[in-house]
Amino acid sequence: MTRRITFPRAALAWGEIALYRGSLAAAEEALRSGIRGTAYYYRWELERGYRLLGTTLEREGGREEASLCRLLADSLHNAPDAYQAFIELAEAKIEQHEITTAARVLEKLSRMFPKNSRVLIARAEVKGEF
């Protein structure tokens, strides 16, 4: 990305513009920056950001990560915030024995909420430590 954008919503907008212009590398960079900078309670921005990032990654050939982004976006649709969406998604994936997906969601949650006990317990369960 040629410009340094510090406002997350602007970064998401620039990412969307770059995606529609076909500049996938710039889109990915801007979208990741926008998602990273968006507070967990702005679920609409996060949902849109993850959907756009999923589309970008799909076009770049990253189907596995694109699929995770879409899953995260879908989980945000009716949730009050990203924490509730992602922890419920991770716990559902654990129950469905989709451990790899659960671990990836929990990794994201642990970066967002590093000392959250519910996340730590779920990660221990996934690793077989609990």
Residue 82: strand, helix, or coil: helix
Please indicate, yes or no, if residue 69 is contained in any of the structural domains: no
Nearest to 27 by CA among 63, 2, 64: 2
The residue with greater pLDDT, 125 or 18, is: 18
For the stretch 72-122, pLDDT in tens is 999 999 999 999 999 999 999 999 999 999 999 999 999 999 999 999 999
- Show the domain range for 40: 1-62
Please indicate, yes or no, if residue 110 is contained in any of the structural domains: yes
**Tally of domains within the chain:** 2
Phi-psi group of 22: left, alpha or beta (phi > 0 → left; psi -120 to 50 → alpha; rest → beta): left
